Amino acid sequence: MVSAAATPAAVDLDDPEQRPVDFVFLLFAAVFLASLVVCNVIANKFLTVDLGWLGFATPFVLSAGALPYPLTFLATDLLSELYGHRRANQVVWAGFAASLFTLFALWLGGQFEAIDDSPVSDSTYAAAFSNTWRVIVASMTAYLVAQFVDVQLFHFWRRLTNGRHLWLRNNASTILSQLLDSMLVVLVLFWGNPEWPTERIVATILDLWMFKALVALADTPFFYAGVIWLKNIRLRPL
């Protein structure tokens, strides 16, 4: 547990003595944006993750996009803790803009025919990315709601505990918002699809959520490390 005194206040980016941490903000924002964009691009591949060594009898069935996606919640929690509510929300909106640009770029790439000896043919490109627009629409619907809920819950728990219990606001906000995210993205993608009956939809939501929740619990040490790291940087301005 971290006491209120040990938790650094939000960074004042107008303070010249704190300007070295601008790079840290950009680093966290870059991790967030890269994770968000790549998870949408690879989301069409479904796979299994076997965590039998943790006692799970059945492998998780996941979209490949679920592998990097939990990093977005770690990044927004760090941004919320270290830079405040407003800056975290700005990065969330920047992620939305980056995803729209990705959608446009993938559409644009499909408007031109591949040359004869192109390593990626038109059919391969279409198979990989033709459904990306739907994935991104589903992802963005879930993303905007879940990320803003995550930021709001994070600061709710921070106020409720008077800045204490860093682990609580990190995990409580992320696990709840990940449930909402998993429900929305699966429902937007597959609701009404005859190949996806209710039982399969519910099973997929639970698999996504449980996997993301496990990652959220596992990233708690990295969350603490990030907070302590920035505190040390602030003590040693460049």
Q: Is the pLDDT of residue 140 over 80?
A: no
Mean pLDDT for the stretch of residues 106-118: 89
Selection from 51-60, 66-75, 127-136 with the highest mean pLDDT? 66-75
CB atoms < 10 A from the CB of 205, how many? 19
Q: Higher model confidence: residue 234 or residue 105?
A: 105
With contact defined as beta carbons under 8 Å apart, do 59 and 50 qualify? yes
* pLDDT of the residue at 163: 64
With contact defined as beta carbons under 8 Å apart, do 175 and 132 qualify? no
Angstrom distance (rounded) from CA 154 to CA 197: 34
* pLDDT of the residue at 1: 40
pTM above 0.75, yes or no: no
CB neighbours of 15 closer than 8 A, spacing ≥ 6? none
Reading the block at residue 100, the tokens are 């729209």
* pLDDT of the residue at 237: 39
Domains of the chain: 13-232 (1.10.1760)
* pLDDT of the residue at 34: 92
Q: Higher model confidence: residue 112 or residue 212?
A: 112
Q: Is the pLDDT of residue 233 over 70?
A: no
Mean pLDDT (the chain, rounded): 76
Q: Could you give the percent of the chain with pLDDT greater than 90? A: 4
* pLDDT of the residue at 212: 76
Give 154-175 pLDDT, tens digit per residue. Answer: 777 777 777 666 666 666 777 7
* pLDDT of the residue at 30: 92
